[in-house]
Amino acid sequence: MFHWLEKNPFFFASAISIVISFAGLIEIVPNFSKAARPLVDLKPRTVLELAGKEVYKKDNCIACHSQLIRPFKSETDRYGKYSLSGEYAYDRPFLWGSKRTGPDLHRVGNYRTTDWHEAHMKNPSKIVPGSIMPAYKHQFTNVADIETAYAEAVTVRNVFHTPYGPEFKSGKAAWEAHKPKVLADAKKIADEMQDEGVKKMVAEGKVPEIVALIAYLNSLK
């Protein structure tokens, strides 16, 4: 019945690609509708933490740090429980990384503190002699973009149904209503820090990048 098709290389090639693409579609397309499976008690990041995640991406910490503890004894002894896929369900994008120049940071919130990060980010080799990690002094004066972080939360709520509350709506009014919460979170971090410039900025309603970054690092548990 299909002899004519087999004798025509063009149609035959086209028919093969149609069959293969169809099989491909059947395998791949349904996966797009699959929801991520978060761990039972997983909470989405706060807006301040999201802003800190942006700083982490922008300053390219992923160039030296992974966030994925492998199930090896050497890693679980050092960092704690190995990472589970459900822990990343709300991370878009995830920041697993693959370069392990520095330590893994997936649970760094369990054993480092705000004041430790402050001193370390300002001058790593002063805290860890011989450290090759660069200093990130600009983070103490640059302002983090908390409004865009809020918009990100609203977007993932709308598009991926990430469980942010119904108060996460687009529009200026909703943002203005949420902003005091972000500033309060920022103040909590700034209160644990030494840097006077940072405290002053937060008091003026601006969030320095370092504050958002530390909030993010503290949330990695």
Binding site for ligand HEC (CB under 6 A): 56, 59-61, 63-65, 101-103, 105, 108, 112, 117, 124, 128, 131-134, 136, 213, 217
104 close to 69: Cβ distance less than 8 angstroms = yes
Nearest distance from residue 57's CB to ligand HEC, in Å? 9
Instruction: Rank residues 65 and 157 by Cβ distance to ligand HEC and give the closer one.
Output: 65
65 close to 103: Cβ distance less than 8 angstroms = yes
Nearest distance from residue 28's CB to ligand HEC, in Å? 35
Taking alpha carbons only, the member of 39, 104, 108 closest to residue 70 is 104
Placement of tokens 């509708």 in the chain: 33
Instruction: Rank residues 8 and 60 by Cβ distance to ligand HEC and give the closer one.
Output: 60
Nearest distance from residue 47's CB to ligand HEC, in Å? 19
Instruction: Rank residues 95 and 186 by Cβ distance to ligand HEC and give the closer one.
Output: 95
Nearest distance from residue 219's CB to ligand HEC, in Å? 12
Backbone conformation region of residue 84, classed left if phi is above 0, alpha if psi is from -120 to 50, else beta:
beta
Instruction: Rank residues 13 and 132 by Cβ distance to ligand HEC and give the closer one.
Output: 132
Nearest distance from residue 68's CB to ligand HEC, in Å? 14
Backbone angles phi, psi at 11, to 5 degrees: -65, -35
Q: What are the Cα distances from residue 85, in Å, to 27, 90, 166, 179? A: 21, 10, 26, 31
Q: Which two tokens stand for residue 118?
A: 């402050």
Instruction: Rank residues 60 and 194 by Cβ distance to ligand HEC and give the closer one.
Output: 60
